[in-house]
Amino acid sequence: MARIQTEKDVSRKEVILKASAKLFREKGYKAASMRDLAVKVGVEAASLYNHIRSKAELLHDICFNVANIFFDHISTVEASNEPAIQKLEALIRFHIKQMIENFEEVYVNDREWRYLSEPYFSNYQNQRRSYRKRFASIIQQGIEQGQINKIDASTAVLIILHAIGGIESWHRSTHKISGEELEENMVTILIDGLKK
């Protein structure tokens, strides 16, 4: 029987999670099967259960791993002494980089989380709301500091995150600019559109 191939310092569970994220993005969580996943990692479906309990566990791990990365980053940004506009730029750049470098996981986190089972669904939904409120709070600080135009901060967050979610089409494009150029273009458009 084939074994799951790993690189140095990468666990079999990490290989399975990476393959799951790719599969869930391609087929959608509901349509993806453990048999599909086994084919992706090159093993029998039964041997996957030596490393994971269920498909639901994989979705949980992907969503909460990504959410924790974003929460850790926003905590670091909030703790800095930078002006709000710089904090906002740091958040936007981080989101763009994650969408470029960890596309599969971020995509699944953003689109497939609604298939989480309870109590994880409610927990994740609360975390998502909390994150967006913290993001909006930074925009609100920028408005109060006179760096950002007077706008509804919550609406701005939705527009920014939706724009960054559009990087999906960049991944599909056959004629695309580099990730660095994409980041600079998006930061220019998003930050300059908010600056006073």
The percentage of the chain sitting over the pLDDT mark of 90, rounded to a whole number, equals 76
Q: For residue 1, what pLDDT is reported?
A: 41
Q: Rounded mean pLDDT of the chain?
A: 91
Determine whether domain 55-194 maps to CATH 1.10.357.10: yes
Orientation of helix 84-101 relative to helix 153-165, angle to 10°: 30
Task: Give the lowest-confidence range in 39-53, 87-101, 159-173.
Answer: 39-53
Residue 12 has pLDDT above 50, yes or no: yes
More confident residue, 50 or 172: 172
**Residue 43 pLDDT exceeds 80:** no
**Segments of the chain assigned to CATH 1.10.357.10:** 55-194
Q: What is the pLDDT of residues 135-160, one digit of tens each?
A: 999 999 999 999 999 999 999 999 99
Q: Name which of 11-20, 144-153, 185-194 the model is least confident about.
A: 11-20
Architecture of the 12-48 domain: Orthogonal Bundle (1.10)
pLDDT at position 9 is 56
- Could you give the residue range(s) of every CATH 1.10.10.60 domain in the chain? 12-48
pLDDT at 45 over 80: no
Low-confidence winner among 7-11, 40-44, 139-143 (lowest mean pLDDT): 7-11
Residue 84 has pLDDT above 90, yes or no: yes
Q: What is the pTM of this model?
A: 0.89
Can you give the pLDDT at residue 66?
97
CA dihedral of residues 51, 52, 53, 55 (deg, nearest 10): -150
* Dihedral angle sign, alpha carbons of residues 59, 64, 67, 73: negative
What mean pLDDT is predicted for residues 18-45? 90
Quick one: average pLDDT of 33-45? 84
Angle in degrees, CA 123, 124, 125, rounded to 5: 90
Which among 88, 68, 114, 149 is positioned nearest to 96, based on CA atoms? 88
Q: State which of 8-17, 149-158, 187-196 shows the largest mean pLDDT.
A: 149-158
